Structure 1
């Protein structure tokens, strides 16, 4: 008689304890797994010794498999460490990697001896099906959509699975995190901000975006009943007083958004979300009334570039004039636009960067409250694009400073090297010169000192005002290089960096 599968789900450490938020992907997986079996969650953002916590859980109970959620960047090293520890202590226990990294770099993930299976994209159906098949002793796993696996030493990629946003009628199993209230954090939104994801996917296909590569231009919105139930639980049961939405793109078509905005207007929880300039510009006045009543405080908007040609090249689907318009629109409606830019592209690297700096100054004139996030443009390799997009409008081959082709890592261990962690985090690129790298860093230093973020609750107001005054002359005269006095002051004040720490 086959027993119900028991799965250990692991979220390797990726952020500080103070910045820990609900591990939403594992909560969704846990809810799906519990329909036919049982599951347990270990969160490395709370259990700081992730290896010890995982091995302790494995010693206390029998598990049929371990599922590990893996993103690129700083989560790679702990993901490898915990996987190796599991393999050494329990050599026959199946290890399944899921999340962005194995979706974008599937062959790289499966090249590791400590990864047996990789789930590409959404795992709520694929992982339970895999566990059921393993429980039955099946060796042919080709029917499981979204699964990549090893057969006779060769990697097999099953067909993709269609995405869905089913509604089980229950809230997520937050109790599996111990006391879920410890994940409610003080932010500029409120004293007890909760992370939540209502919709999944995005209808757009930006070439640099992991969401586009993962979801292939699809999105799924929640039902009104589900959103009301989930937010009601966070507010009335857990005591959340504000929400940070992790939806990949919150505002979709207006007619679909209005019923959801009505729910949020009723609950009046201050919130933060990702949005697009064109979507916000299309909202009617009646919808903006709902947005204001729902208490939207800040919208993270991917502006990316002031160059229409570059926006077209990366398939952004928006225009520079829409970025300027949305800054003014947000000012009128009391919403802070958090605008992100990708500087230093592989072509016209310096010219594009300097043009972006001037565009940012123009935005700050239109809406001084605009928050600016500056990243390095680091596109995904062609092989990581969604299968619908591979070969369509292929980008120019990437080359480093010496003119040699950029060769991406072929093992998880290579992705832990600092320059590749920086690449994954949009913090550096092989074609970036030392001089331009320093110039970008200096510009960002002057900008964030001149306009300290409202998200910074740690630095005292007098310190932020002082830094702003000291940086004013540099900003006014465009004297960005070598801001030694600001770097010195930052050692004492340590302004918050939203692109690193989030809310």
Structure 2
């Protein structure tokens, strides 16, 4: 009986997203890196499906300093190890841990899921330390896989699964994307919530939460359309309010960082949710609420005011470029003019903006791209700086990173990128400082200098920034 119970143990692992965590004292924004402290929502989404029948242990590299040893110990009597990974250092860290696990427990099934394995299942399974890949939305697939492992049944025919069968790799049919409302709530009680609470801008106790899954956009640089098939599903507004109230009271949360890929896709639903939040008056705030600029540009002032009244204090917008040719190459579906429209709306309604830009899109004029994008960022800084409100904005500036099987990955190959033929190759990507072969060194260095000088990275006052930017312009013209 004991042995059977022990084999019901499932180990879930969220690897480290960056190689060297950077601690910046008193820094409330994340311009040079993703937030390291995050709730492993993807793992909790799986755990909720099996917690009644299995003993699930979750390890998150960003909060569990001794995670490798803990995983090795936990795997000795486990049914399986499951790893979630994006295209970044998570791959390298995940491989390292799985290799150590396989050395100690060679027969233990190792499952990978998440954005990268979903887009490169065969290449992922070519790694000797990985046995099964769960593609796309994984809740139901994971449940069926672990039940099959427990019952010693074949994985044949389980939708959304790729797996090894001797020397062959089998790709089962895709699984249909499901309505998010059929799943149980995210079980925050399965992790140590205190370890995952962070301070961020508007509050001292901020935690991650998502209201929707998927994205209907078709951006050619992004893995999301491949991962979800351009499907999208949102929780019912009443469910959202109920869950937020529970989390706020249970864990004393004052701020929620919203992790949706596109919060504003269904504006009618957004209005209904915001009206419920206003009526409930819980006093909670929302940050990093993701919106597409072409959607936000169409929202009327009355709705903007409602969104702010409901507690939205910050919106995250993927501006991506200040150069229209680059936006078109990305298939972004937006105009450069939408940037100013969104900034004006955010300023008018006292909503902070957190935006992202990138340079290095293959196949476009490099100098025009860099000049236009840096100038567009400068315009945003001026819009806030002239009002003495620099603390109410933040810009992430990175270099284009080609993700597997996206259209721009194939464009990158045509422009000199060497094919990435193994899972390990992808694990060495730096999504902030990827150096593309078509992007000249002098532009690369200038962009890094510009990024380091942005006020939230350099502590420049607005006047100092303007002087610094003049110098950047002069250097750019000399290239």
Q: TM-score, normalised by structure 2?
A: 0.86
Which residue does 2:283 correspond to in 1?
268
Within a 5 Å distance, the mapping from 1:90-109 to structure 2 comes to: 90-109=105-124
Once residues 412 and 361 of structure 2 are traced to their aligned partners in structure 1, the CA distance between those partners, rounded to angstroms, is: 12
Q: 2:402 aligns with which of 375, 379, 395?
A: 379
Corresponding residue number in structure 1 for 2:459:
464
CA distance, structure 2, for counterparts of residue 357 and residue 125 of structure 1: 44
Asked whether the 8 Å contact 1:145–1:161 carries over to 2, the reply is yes
- Counterpart of 1:339 (choices 355, 358, 379) is 355
Q: 1:361-440 maps to which residues of 2 (within 5 A)?
A: 361-368=378-385, 369=390, 370-381=393-404, 384-385=405-406, 396=411, 398-399=413-414, 405-417=416-428, 421-422=429-430, 424-425=431-432, 427-440=434-447
Post-superposition CA distance 1:189-226 (Å, at most 9, x none):
21001111110111101011122221121110101232
Change (3 A) 1:129 1:117: same
1:493 matched to which residue of 2?
none
**Structure 1: distance between partners of 2:403 and 2:459:** 37
Q: CA deviation at 1:93?
A: 0.9
Change in CA separation of 1:201 and 1:123 when aligned onto 2, cut-off 3 Å:
same
* Structure 2 residue 335 is matched with structure 1 residue 319: yes
Task: Give me the whole-angstrom Cα distance separating, in 2, the residues matched to 1:305 and 1:75.
Answer: 26
Q: Per the alignment, in what secondary structure is the counterpart of residue 272 of structure 2?
A: helix
Match of 1:228 among 237, 241, 245: 241
Give the deviation of 1:170 after TM superposition: 5.4
- Residue number in structure 2 paired with 1:8: 11
Match of 2:161 in 1: 147
Are 2:478 and 1:473 equivalent residues in the alignment? Answer: no
1:106-128 superposed Cα distances (whole Å, 9 cap, x missing partner): 22211111100011111111111
| Length-normalised TM-score, structure 1 | 0.82
Q: CA deviation at 1:23?
A: 0.7
- Cα distance in 1 between the residues matched to 2:158 and 2:119: 18
Aligned counterparts of 1:170 and 1:76: Cα–Cα separation in 2: 29
Cα distance change on mapping 1:310 and 1:468 into 2, 3 Å: closer
Q: Does the Cα contact within 8 Å between 1:126 and 1:146 map onto a contact in 2?
A: yes
Aligned to 1:352: 369
Distance in 2 between the 1:268 and 1:430 partners?
49
**Cα displacement string for residues 448-503 of structure 1 (whole angstroms, at most 9, x for unaligned residues):** 1xx227xxxxxxxxx935x6555442224545759xxxxxxxxxxxxxxxxxxxxx
- CA 1:47–1:356: 2 relative to 1, 3 Å: same
Higher relative contact order (CA 8 A, sep 6+): 2
Extract structure 1 runs of 4+ deviating beyond 6 A.
1-4
Structure 2 spans left out of the alignment, 5+ residues:
24-35
The match for 1:242 among 249, 255, 264 is 255
The CA distance in 2 between the partners of 1:132 and 1:378, in whole Å, is: 37
2:413 aligned counterpart, secondary structure: coil
Q: Kindly indicate whether residue 204 of structure 2 is the aligned counterpart of residue 200 of structure 1.
A: no
**Within 1, Cα distance between the matches of 2:462 and 2:301?**
35
- Show the counterpart of 1:71: 86
The CA distance in 2 between the partners of 1:324 and 1:36, in whole Å, is 52
1:284 aligns with 2:300: yes
Q: Is the 8 A contact 2:321 2:373 kept in 1?
A: yes
Gaps of 5+ in 1: 454-462, 483-503
Equivalent position of 2:187 in the other structure: 173
Aligned residues: 449
3-state SS of the aligned residue for 1:362?
A: helix
Q: Deviations over 1:233-259 (max 9, x none)?
A: 221110011010010111112112112
Deviation of 1:367 (Å): 4.2
CA deviations over 1:334-370 (Å, ceiling 9, x no partner): 1122221121222212321112122222333344444
**2: CA distance, partners of 1:395 / 1:77:** 23
Is 1:444 the counterpart of 2:467 in the alignment?
no
Aligned mate of 2:226, from 208, 213, 227: 213
Structure 2 CA distance for partners of 1:247 and 1:480, relative to 1, 3 Å: farther
Which secondary structure does the structure 2 equivalent of 1:125 belong to? helix
